[in-house]
Amino acid sequence: MKEGPGAGLVDRPVRLSSLVSFRGEKRTLSEKDVRSLAARLVRQAAESPGEAPFPRDEETAVTDALTARLLVLGELEMDDVQAVRLGYRELARALHLQAATRDLSADASLFLDSLTEWACLHIINFFTQRSTFVARTLVEQSRDHAELIAKLDVLIARTPRPDGRDAAFEQRYLSYITKKHGRLQIYGIDLLNSPGKWPLDVAYMRLEATSPVDAYEDFLRRHPRFRQGRQPVDEVLAGHDRVLLRGEAGSGKTTLIQWLAVSAARPDPDDRMAYLAGLIPFVLPLRTLTRHGGQLPAPKDFLAAVGSPLAGEEPPGWPSRVLTSGRGLLLIDGIDEVPESERAHAHGWLSDLAEAYPGNRWLVTSRPSAVAEEWLTAEGFGELRLSSMRPADVRSFVVRWHEAARTGVSADDEALASYESRLLDSIRTKPDLGRLATNPLMCGLICALHRDRHGFLPIGRKELYQAALSMLLIRRDRERGVTGPELREEPQLQILQRLAYWLIKDGRTELTRDRALVEIGKALPALPEMAALGDPETVLAHLLNRSGLLRAPTAETIDFCHRTFQDFLGARALLDEGTFGMVRKHAADDQWEDVIRMAVAQGRPRDRADVLRELLHDGSARAVVLAASCLEQATELDPAVRAELEHSMSALLPPRTPEAVTTLASVGPLALDFLPGPEELAGAWPASDSDDYAQLCVRTASLIGTDEAIPYLARFNDHPSLRVRSQLALFWHRFPIETYGREVIAQLPYDDLYLIAHSVAELRALRELGGRPWMRLVGDFTATSLLVYLDPSQLTRLDLRGTVDDMSVLGEFPLLEVVSVSECPDSTSLASLQKLPELRHLRLSARHAARSARSGVRFPQVHRLDLHDTYTDAMLEPLPQAYPSVDTLCLYAAPSPDHRLDQARLHALFPHASISVTV
């Protein structure tokens, strides 16, 4: 068939007739054709001149992901006219949502999204060439015009005329947000005459978040849209409109806030951020809102509270109208920066706002331990935690950092290329350095120091911070050629640490300019070198303009460029003053955790011993774990103190409660050195206790979630307890797929174990490992992915905890004996299961089983039926006819509130069945 000119959507259309048309208009194409096309596109991009768009070792994964997306075309419930109307970007987004891939690096994900758009553009152009397209389009347009006119008439009658002042102000406000938050400081690049800030599009590093490990199954039940485990953090609000995001200092929380605000403010956000289109962002940093300890603002005071220059110019009642209409994007940064004594008040403020203005999108950020688990659960907030950067993310960051640095006025491209190459090699080959490069702040710090020291790096966190302070206070001005009084490093540090310690003791991260001047005035008599500069105002101006460590967010406030430096300098002040009693007093205060760790790192051996003794004398589990987390920084320590600490830790080991798991995991990778292995557990406790403790040890290591945990977890591969091995299978998604799959999953005995896949990538990895007969799929999958990655000659048990777009695919697995279906829509048909000859056991919700039975679906081959969720007598009534052979009925369900459990009724319905009820 000769192709027409199409709609002219592309300059040089790629002719797809060889793939989709042999004679006439073929409506399907083989997976082999699609994979061949995808592989060719990816290979051409990878081999193009210039920098590779993604790491070469991900070429196969990108090809698989593109193939999966293109195969979804055959599953979308739309015709060619609908696809053209949708547009290539939205069509690409539909493919992305139906075939999401979670295990690619940031660069590979961006490339995949771009290539999917490109393919969709050509596909839509091809659709416009089809012989039936024009005629069908005219019919559709006539029908749509009539419907549109009718709907507009109703809408005009219902909707009040908008206030033109709102629209005009919103345009100004969104432009201001774009400019204010559209540039980002990349730490350390402000040397060599380079600007201090960079466009957010260049500097933004896309990271991932995970759902909590504790109470994981319960969390998924309450927040099913978080089923996928690791997910791009900038898309979390697309699936859930209220999120509390936890992350360590420097992990990128504030940068994410900026990215979301700017994405919403843009008139045409990129496709993956399109869900923010039309929203009005309110960026509310709690450090600013609570600086004076007063009342947190109502919506009418949002702009004034954050010092916006547009405050007072908004039309009266504008913020309330925005929030009432559900157009608000509330970005509330830094619960941990609210003094602990004021957090209950902050919780009440958030709760009241969320109740008064439903329908908006909310993101609240915090350090991990600042507030209790499920702190905002009652308000409908789901919780996520920022993941550490993966090795591929770190490599990508290093490349981007050096690319940005090359734009500096005096940048030496050849030298920077050499530094970049050497640093990438060091991160790959030096484990100590790799352990430090876990978040954007530390990666930026490492890049800056590596260049500043001409390719040589200090070893250890303390040394990195000390070198960074030296770079900022002394070398920064020299490198930039700034003239003026040259001061030694130590006198400047004395004033800076005094300001830091005042903030820490007051539980804040901002202080007023007046308070800063008072503290500087107290310090100057003992620091003649600084006093020679002039009065406190002059000294403060010098530190603000020259050090790079202090900032003035407003004309009246001062803070540090990053909280980490405040904590490091505050620890110096603590050591200088010798006020170690403060350590015990604040052992339970999350804002003091890093201060205490850094005091141990910087202190003399006697100081370290004193700090650790204060923690041990506190006696709480949190204090003991905090002391243990300091050991890595204690290069020299009194053996008696070390022995006392190890004895105190032994009382916490192995963890015996979920709370103990959370406490131990907060230590991080260092806790792995303390956790007992399966051999120690088996020899020290009775078998039942040993199994319980082994399960909790595995949970602890899984919650730590770093690569260092994998060898420890692998020691439990052949543990006799099914519960322990199930834990190993459950948390695969928290680790690098290939590494964990090879070292843990591949070694698990599987004759009694469900292996769990949260993504297509895990399904693919399992297929490469030989497949497994018992599978649990958590999340949303396509029928294509099941056919491609599950083996019909092997699969005997399938537990679906999510959705499959076409359930009829289950009929292609004839060996299935046990099938469990949960969290799927009520309309999901189970008819395909009727033809499974080996099916003996079904697990369903009572509602789903009843609906299926009423539709005429019959399962004469099923002998055991498990029902969960609530039920009514009406739901049970049609079941005997649908399940005539059932001899075992298990109810893991409670009667609905207006019914009661009637054992006699159950036995009357299933007179020949053994019945058990677990409510």
Is the pLDDT at 87 greater than 70, yes or no?
no
The one-character DSSP state at 15 is: P
pLDDT 10s digits, 238-269: 878 899 998 876 778 888 898 899 999 988 77
In this predicted structure, which of 211-215, 441-445, 793-797 has the lowest mean pLDDT?
A: 211-215
Is the pLDDT at 76 greater than 70, yes or no?
no
Q: Select the more confidently predicted residue: 326 or 635.
A: 326
Is the pLDDT at 347 greater than 70, yes or no?
yes
Is residue 685 packed enough to be buried (19+ CB in 10 Å), middle (13-18) or exposed (0-12)?
middle
Yes or no: say if 761 and 732 are a contact pair by the CB < 8 Å rule.
no
Residue 844 β-bridge partners: 867
Cα radius of gyration (the chain) = 30
Q: Report pLDDT for 337.
A: 78
Yes or no: say if 915 and 889 are a contact pair by the CB < 8 Å rule.
yes
Indicate the helix (H) or strand (E) that contains 9. Answer: none
CB-based contacts of 467: which residues, under 8 Å, 6+ apart? Answer: 449, 452, 453, 458
Q: Report pLDDT for 819.
A: 94
Cα angle 343-571-632, degrees, rounded to a multiple of 5? 100
**pLDDT band, residue 98 (cuts 50/70/90):** low
Yes or no: say if 64 and 764 are a contact pair by the CB < 8 Å rule.
yes
Question: End-to-end CA distance of the chain, in Å?
Answer: 64
Q: Report pLDDT for 223.
A: 45
In the structure, how many helices (H) and strands (E) does the chain have?
Answer: 44, 20
**pLDDT band, residue 15 (cuts 50/70/90):** very low
Cα angle 884-889-891, degrees, rounded to a multiple of 5? 135
Is the pLDDT at 157 greater than 50, yes or no?
no
In this predicted structure, which of 15-29, 595-609, 624-638 has the lowest mean pLDDT?
A: 15-29
Q: Select the more confidently predicted residue: 9 or 519.
A: 519
Domains of the chain in sequence order: 17-149 (no CATH), 204-387 (3.40.50.300), 578-650 (no CATH), 652-753 (no CATH)
Indicate the helix (H) or strand (E) that contains 777. Answer: strand 774-781
Cβ atoms within 10 Å of 429's Cβ, excluding its own: 9
Distance from C-alpha of 722 to C-alpha of 773, rounded to nearest angstrom: 16
What is the phi/psi pair of residue 483, to 5°?
-95, 160
Q: Report pLDDT for 322.
A: 94
pLDDT 10s digits, 466-525: 887 887 777 655 554 455 567 888 999 999 999 999 999 988 888 899 999 999 999 999
Question: SS3 string of 318-358?
Answer: HHHHHHHCCCEEEEEECHHHCCHHHHHHHHHHHHHHHHHCC
Question: SS3 string of 124-164?
Answer: HHHHCCCCCHHHHHHHHHHHHHHHHHHHHHHHHHHCCCCCH
Is the pLDDT at 898 greater than 50, yes or no?
yes
Distance from C-alpha of 127 to C-alpha of 27, rounded to nearest angstrom: 11
Nearest to 803 by CA among 779, 820, 837: 779
Length of the chain: 919
Yes or no: say if 112 and 93 are a contact pair by the CB < 8 Å rule.
no
Tokens linked to 205: 């590093």
Yes or no: say if 360 and 302 are a contact pair by the CB < 8 Å rule.
no
Q: Select the more confidently predicted residue: 158 or 602.
A: 602
pLDDT 10s digits, 416-433: 888 888 888 888 777 656
Distance from C-alpha of 722 to C-alpha of 718, rounded to nearest angstrom: 10
Nearest to 884 by CA among 907, 860, 866: 860
* Average pLDDT of the residues of the chain: 79
Is the pLDDT at 344 greater than 60, yes or no?
yes
pLDDT 10s digits, 844-883: 988 888 888 888 899 999 999 998 877 777 788 889 999 9
CB-based contacts of 223: which residues, under 8 Å, 6+ apart? Answer: 211, 240, 382
Cβ atoms within 10 Å of 739's Cβ, excluding its own: 12
In this predicted structure, which of 18-22, 324-328, 658-662 has the lowest mean pLDDT?
A: 18-22
Distance from C-alpha of 554 to C-alpha of 544, rounded to nearest angstrom: 12
**pLDDT band, residue 309 (cuts 50/70/90):** very high
Is the pLDDT at 915 greater than 70, yes or no?
yes
Is the pLDDT at 227 greater than 50, yes or no?
no
User: Alpha helix (H) ranges present in 507-638?
Assistant: 513-523, 528-531, 536-542, 563-577, 581-585, 593-602, 605-618, 621-629
What is the phi/psi pair of residue 450, to 5°?
-60, -40
Q: What is the mean pLDDT of residues 273-277?
A: 86
Tokens linked to 348: 């009440």
Q: Report pLDDT for 410.
A: 55
Q: Report pLDDT for 600.
A: 93
Helical pair 605-618 and 621-629, crossing angle rounded to 10 deg: 160
Is the pLDDT at 462 greater than 70, yes or no?
yes
CB-based contacts of 468: which residues, under 8 Å, 6+ apart? Answer: 188, 445, 448, 449, 565
C-alpha of 415 from chain center? 35
Yes or no: say if 327 and 280 are a contact pair by the CB < 8 Å rule.
yes
Q: Report pLDDT for 270.
A: 74
Q: Which of 185-199, 450-464, 544-558, 693-707 has the highest mean pLDDT?
A: 693-707
Q: Report pLDDT for 330.
A: 95
C-alpha of 688 from chain center? 36
In this predicted structure, which of 25-29, 149-153, 582-586, 776-780 has the lowest mean pLDDT?
A: 25-29
Q: What is the mean pLDDT of residues 590-608?
A: 89
Cβ atoms within 10 Å of 688's Cβ, excluding its own: 9
- pTM of the full predicted structure? 0.54
What is the phi/psi pair of residue 779, to 5°?
125, -160
Q: Is 333 helix (H, G, I), strand (E, B) or coil?
A: strand
Q: Select the more confidently predicted residue: 365 or 555.
A: 365
Q: Select the more confidently predicted residue: 710 or 288.
A: 710
**pLDDT band, residue 193 (cuts 50/70/90):** very low
Distance from C-alpha of 390 to C-alpha of 393, rounded to nearest angstrom: 5
Q: Report pLDDT for 518.
A: 95
Q: In the Cβ-directed half-sphere of 494, how many Cα atoms lie within 13 Å?
A: 20
Distance from C-alpha of 373 to C-alpha of 16, rounded to nearest angstrom: 53
Distance from C-alpha of 246 to C-alpha of 236, rounded to nearest angstrom: 13
Paired sense of beta strands 231-232 and 208-210, if any: antiparallel
Q: Report pLDDT for 794.
A: 93
